[in-house]
Amino acid sequence: MSIKYKAALFFVLLLFFSAVPFIHSIFFSQNSQGVMVIEKNVKADFIKSDKKFVLLFFGYFGCRDVCTPILEEMSKLYESKEFEELRESVDVIFVNLTPEVDSFQPDLFAKYFNNAFKGVYLSKGELFSMDRNFELYFARSLSDDTELNHTDNIYLIKNNQNSKVLKSIYSTHPIQRKKLIDDIISLKGTSKNSSHLQR
pTM of the model: 0.77
The predicted structure's pLDDT at residue 150: 66
The pLDDT, as a whole number, for residue 26 is: 44
* CATH of region 3-198, choose from 3.30.420.40, 3.40.50.300, 1.10.10.10, 3.40.30.10: 3.40.30.10
3-class secondary structure, 49: coil
Q: CA 15 to CA 116: how far, in whole Å?
A: 37
**Exposure b/e, 167-183, CB count within 10 A at least 16 = b:** bbbbbbeebbbeebbeb
- The pLDDT value recorded for residue 134 is 78
Say if residue 126's pLDDT is above 90: no
Summarize the confidence of residues 117-135 as an average pLDDT: 83
Residues in contact with 158: Cβ distance below 8 Å, sequence separation at least 6, in sequence order: 52, 53, 164, 165, 167, 187
Beta bridge partners of 41: 165
Interval 142-171: pLDDT, tens: 656 666 676 788 999 999 888 999 999 998
Whether the pLDDT of residue 104 is over 80: the answer is yes
| CA dihedral of 188, 191, 197, 199, whole degrees rounded to 10 | -110
**Strand bridging mode 90-96 / 164-170:** unpaired
pLDDT tens digits, residue range 65-88?
Answer: 889 999 999 999 999 999 999 999
Q: What is the DSSP string of 139-196?
A: EE-SS-TT-EEE---EEEEEE-SS-EEEEEEE-BTTB-HHHHHHHHHHHHHHHHHHHH
Given pLDDT bands bounded at 50, 70 and 90, which one contains residue 12? very low
Domain boundaries defined on the chain: 3-198
Q: Which region among 7-11, 74-78, 127-131 has the lowest average model confidence (pLDDT)? A: 7-11
